[in-house]
Copies of this chain bind each other. A is one copy, B any other.
Amino acid sequence: MSLIDLSKQVALGVDIGGTNTKYGLVNHRGEMLGKGRLKTDAFGNAEDFIDALYEQAIPLINKHCPQKQFDGIGVGAPNANYYTGTIEQAPNLRWKGVIPFAAMMSEKFGVPCKMTNDANAAALGEMMFGAARGMKDFIMMTLGTGVGSGIITNGQLIYGHDGFAGELGHTIVKPGGRKHWSTGSEGSLEAYASATGIAITAKKMRAEFPDSMLNKYPEEAINSKVVHDCAIAGDPTAIEVFRYTGQKLGEALANFVMFSSPEAILLFGGVIRAGDFILKPTKLHMERNLLPIFRNKVKLVFSELDEADAAILGASALVW
């Protein structure tokens, strides 16, 4: 029996998004020893992706783990299942069907691999190292290409009976509303509050208001960053795009609050760069739709962690 220096044990944390994958080597103290990234959507299947990740990550692991202190891999990915280690029918990934991702990773790297939903991983990271430190009840919403969520109640992630809990981006906020480009569902939160949804809203609204600054951009250039630029320049249509988005998001958050009564809702991801343009209407419509007992209690805050780091740190924590 030998003493183990925990500070020298490391795990690889991997955050798989629809577009980009980021990974980092993390020690027990939550220190990032090194990191890297690759394009998720450059790979048509999970095998090729894992091969490429291996080629990139192994030099990093070998550099920091000369004495086999590499404990394992934690992965956050869309529709990843904590119980089975599979990625199942993820709408935002090119890899379709049910993929035994954890088993494939484990075989390739020769260490154990644990998985969870990418937003769950971010929530864990936020609870251990970010704005939710010390909180036992909070909801993490990631507003990026899609809308993800991780729900903590009583200090634990909600996984549900099958490991798929926390798909709040796919809850319906407007029955019979906007059709989702991938799931086909009508009026889901993701169809409005994701970067993709914001671009759709912007394209619709600029068509209604020919004077809008948004009309200076070609169709394919319209994205949430351009809308933000126009809002800063004072364009009323661009401001209205975020107001409408915030209304839909706020209405959805009110429903989530009445479900689990969290101390805080953390917002996270590219969309929050719009700052108060989105935060203010979100808060207004959240409060407006709450029962009085819930009003003016829930902190609505932006994540303090670097977006990628939260998920990498949270994913790495699955190993221990």
Contact = CB atoms under 8 A, between A and B. Distances in A.
Given A161-B136, A165-B153, A170-B291, A259 B256 contact: yes
Contacts of A263: 161-162
A259 B168 contact: yes
B88 A170 contact: no
Interface of A: 79, 88-89, 91, 135-137, 151, 153-154, 156, 158-168, 170-175, 183, 185, 251, 254-256, 258-263, 289, 291-294, 297
Q: Nearest 9 pairs between A and B by C-beta?
A: A160-B261, A165-B261, A161-B263, A137-B161, A171-B255, A167-B258, A164-B261, A153-B158, A170-B291
A172 B187 CA distance: 14
Given A165-B260, A172-B254, 8 more contacts: A89-B292, A89-B293, A161-B263, A164-B261, A164-B294, A170-B291, A255-B255, A259-B260
B183 A291 contact: yes
A14 B256 CA distance: 29
A176 to B, nearest CB: 10
Contacts of A260: 151, 158, 160, 165, 259
Contacts of A89: 292-293
